[in-house]
Structure 1
Amino acid sequence: MEDDPIDFAPQTEDGVPEIPQVALDRSTAEELELRKMQKTQTTCLFILALATGLGLAYVAKMVLVVLFVSILVAFVLAPVVDFGVRFGVPRSLASLFAVFLLIGVIYGITFMSYSKGVDFMQDLPKYSRRIREVGQRWERRAEAFRRSTQDIVPQSEDDKRAVTIRQQSSLSDTVTTALGSVGEIFFTISFIPFLAFFMLSWQEHVRSATVMLFKMENRNTAYVTLGLMSSMIRSFLVGNLLVGLFVSVVSMIIFGLLGVPFFYFVGFISGYLSMVPYLGIVLALIPPVITGMGVMSLEKLVVIIVSILSLHLFAMNVLYPKVLGKRLQLNPLTVTIALLFWGWLWGAMGLILAIPVTAAIKIVLDHVEGFEGYGQWMGE
């Protein structure tokens, strides 16, 4: 005979099991509610800060572009300054020498470009007849295409009688507007050498003062974050320099074998123009095609176009990820969105600055508590 199971549940006088009473910890409930409110406040503050940052980036476009370009220039010149400091040269003097060295290099490149352009214009009459023939051939094809479309879609009598009146702007207004824009650009660019000089000469002070802006418990994180951003920017510049140099050398060899005039100069320009995101593949085609249009056959021009396209695809899809992928740690979707966004916000300079700015934002998100998920989403 089996023993009856023992029921340990408390029962009432009627034999009905008593429902256990659970004590609610009010302090825990209040703590959960407080955490929920803090999380909501943090999200609202983040959205507000993001909207404020985007508005500031749009309004202060020129200032921020100059600031970021100056930072990149300072990182380019930093090895020269460190080399001088290593041999006992004061940092301020080494920084001044580095800035003047950069100005001299830019002047030399500009002078060389101008002289080669003058040489090209002097040699232009030698094959101007072929250039005109090519232009006239394309003009005849365009005219034939226009006539064929007119035959397919004939104009109505109202369209033939339509008269378009265009208001012509005066020459003085056009010249004044152009000079004003050019003057504003040159005035803004003139700040870059000064900003780069002060960033180089006050490098240690700026870094330590930036770290001191944070609370004591966050200073180590800020110091590590600044170090990672510096390493990223340095790797970005060196990687672009190496990849651009490779593409330029290969372009020079191909252009030289095909007989492109001034192949060494055109190949150098085309190689580094190819590094511009998205627009590079179009910009890299312009110098060799224009230079070789009057003296080269159509077959050679096709070979040039195919070579540039192949080099660009190889550099962007093979070399670029190998050289910069480990440092930047940005997935292709993030890079594409960044190029689209910063290009829309800042134009052509936004396309150039999009990758380092986005990589810097990712590094910050990786080291801010509560935002690590966004950094992981942007990463590989």
Structure 2
Amino acid sequence: MPLPDKPEVIFLGGLFALAVLTAAYVARDIVLPMALAITLKLLLQPGMAMMERAKVPAPLAALLIIFTLLGAIIGLGAAISGPAGAWAAKLPEGIPRLQERLSFLRGPIDTLLRFFQQVENIGSAGPPRDEGGPLAGSALLPTLFTGVRNFADGLFTTVLFLYFLLLSGDSFLRRLVEILPRFGAKRQAIDISQQIENDISAYLVTITIMNLSVGLATALVMQLTGVGDPILWGTVAFLLNYAPIIGPALGVFVFLLAGFLTIDGNWSALAPAGLYLAIHVIEGETLTPMLLARRFTLNPVLVIVSFVFWFWMWGVPGAILSIPMLAIMKIVCDRVRPFAALGHFLAG
């Protein structure tokens, strides 16, 4: 495999990568919606191709796909808003019961909290300060308003980018092919583009179908174990499964609390969380890797590193996008000879 033999090439490449990552962090209000729009475009590309084969005009097809997606999100939100509100209303009443049933954990938790407090106070001058935090008092309403406004801005920007990508996303590839000087470079650009579109689209569709299966299985488990509200808990499992590691871990904690709030008996209350964990192990460790093994062989250590890094950069959306971005990077490196060694390093 070709390796750079000049140190300045490595240093310049590192500086360029550092500059790109810095720009992605500083301009995340623009870069993150664009990355989400590109990912959604790859996910929705099969539907767009189906409409093109049906002779539907491209502007109308893009609008139909976006409205269908937004309609599904709004409909799902309306379906779970009632059960979510009911759980939020009865949560304050269930906290004393939850504290009573988890009293056997109070000692270890208090010890752990004291340890963290001592670590935090190491090197600090004077007694610990009691600060209200960003959500204290009158700051609650402005904080909520700012969060809602930022979410609305990001959603509008993502939908705008998505519409134009669905409408004329292939024009960038055509312009790139037109300006490349050699036929081999033109063919290589088309090959990389098609491979990214096929593999990432297949990955996203497969993950969505598997997450939907996890949601349906979780909804059935919640109904059979007596927790109730299967639509709410199925939706929670479906959404959490998009975030590797942190999503299922949070799901186990949520279903553990739901079980202790609704089911009598400590061992019976563990059933919802235990069955959800079993569903996730079957899906995440057996079915999904078997379906994606031919397309993706990523280094598992680098998958974890990518997940942690992009979660730090962009939060939960970055964690969701971490694996597609790592896969795109490997596809490009495998087909561009100067980066072949890096592509080999990324392989599982």
- Residue 246 to residue 100, structure 1, CA distance change in 2 (3 Å): closer
Q: Distance in 2 between matches of 1:53 and 1:218?
A: 24
Q: Assess if the C-alpha contact under 8 Å between 1:91 and 1:201 holds in 2.
A: yes
Q: Say whether residues 1:323 and 2:305 are aligned partners.
A: no
Task: Report how many aligned residue pairs link the two structures.
Answer: 330
Matched, 1:205 2:171: yes
Listed one character per residue, the Cα deviations across residues 97-116 of structure 1 (whole Å, up to 9, x for unaligned) are 11111111111011111122
The residue that corresponds to 1:311 in the other structure is 279
Structure 2 residue 157 is matched with structure 1 residue 191: yes
Note if 1:333 corresponds to 2:297.
Answer: no
Q: CA RMSD for the aligned pairs?
A: 3.1
What TM-score, normalized to structure 2?
A: 0.83
> Kindly tell me: are residues 215 and 119 of structure 1, through their superposed partners in 2, closer, same or farther at Cα, counting changes over 3 Å?
same
TM-fit CA distance, 1:85: 2.1
Equivalent of 2:25 in 58, 73, 79: 58
For 1:119 and 1:141, the matched residues in 2 are separated by 27
Partner of 1:267: 234
The answer to whether the 8 Å contact 1:261/1:292 transfers is no
What do the CA deviations read for 1:279-314 (whole angstroms, capped 9, x no partner)? Answer: 122222244334433330222221222222222222
Tell me, yes or no, if the aligned pair for 1:261 and 1:291 is still in contact at 8 Å.
no
* 8 Å Cα contact 2:333/2:343 also seen in 1: yes
Give percent identity, aligned residues only: 22
Go from structure 1 to structure 2 and tell me whether the alpha carbon gap of 1:129 and 1:359 turns closer, same or farther (over 3 Å shift). closer
| Equivalent pair of 1:92/1:201 in contact (CA under 8 Å) | yes
Partner of 2:224: 257
Deviations 1:151-189 (A, max 9, x none): xxxxxxxxxxx9766465874445334423431232122
Hey, what's the Cα distance between the residues in 2 that align with 1:202 and 1:362? 25
How far the C-alpha of 1:215 sits from its partner, in A, is 3.4
The correspondence for 1:236, drawn from 182, 203, 210, is 203
Report the 3-state secondary structure (helix = DSSP H, G, I; strand = E; otherwise coil) of the residue aligned with 1:370.
helix
Aligned to 1:22: none
Q: Which of 168, 171, 181 is 1:215 aligned to?
A: 181
Match of 2:142?
Answer: 176
Aligned equivalent of 2:119: none
Deviation at 1:245, TM superposition (A): 2.2
1:350 equivalent in alignment to 2:314:
no
Equivalent in the alignment of 2:247: 280
Distance in 2 between the 1:168 and 1:345 partners? 26
Q: Give CA deviations for 1:46-80 in whole Å, capped at 9, x if unaligned.
A: 22322222222222223222111111222233233
Structure 1: gaps spanning 5 or more residues: 1-35, 151-161
Contact kept in structure 1, 2:298 and 2:347, CA below 8 Å: yes
Change (3 A) 1:339 1:136: same
